[in-house]
Amino acid sequence: MGSSPELSRQFLRHAIATLAYRGGKALREAPPGFGEFRASDSTRTPAEILAHLADLLDWALSLADGKSQARNSSPLPWKDGVDRFFRALEKFDGYLASEHPLQSPAEKLFQGPVVDSLTHVGQLAILRRMAGVPVRGENYFQADIQTGRVGPEQSPPRREFD
Domains of the chain by range and CATH? 5-141 (1.20.120.450)
Q: How far is CA 51 from the centre of its chain?
A: 11
Residue 2: band (very low, low, confident or very high) from pLDDT cuts 50, 70, 90: very low
pLDDT digits (tens, 9 = 90+) for 19-70: 999 999 999 999 999 999 999 999 999 999 999 999 999 999 999 999 999 9
What are the pLDDT digits (tens) for 61-105? 999 999 999 999 999 999 999 999 999 999 999 999 999 999 999
Which tens digit of pLDDT belongs to each residue from 122-142? 999 999 999 999 999 999 999
pTM: 0.93
Helix (H, G, I), strand (E, B) or coil at 79: helix
Per-residue pLDDT, averaged over 134-158, amounts to 93
Banded model confidence at residue 3, pLDDT cuts 50, 70, 90 = low
Quick one: pLDDT at residue 1?
43
d(CA 83, CA 69): 21
Of 117-121, 129-133, 148-152, 155-159, least confident by mean pLDDT is 155-159
Are the C-beta atoms of 48 and 34 separated by less than 8 Å?
no
CB 47, CB 76: distance < 8 Å: yes
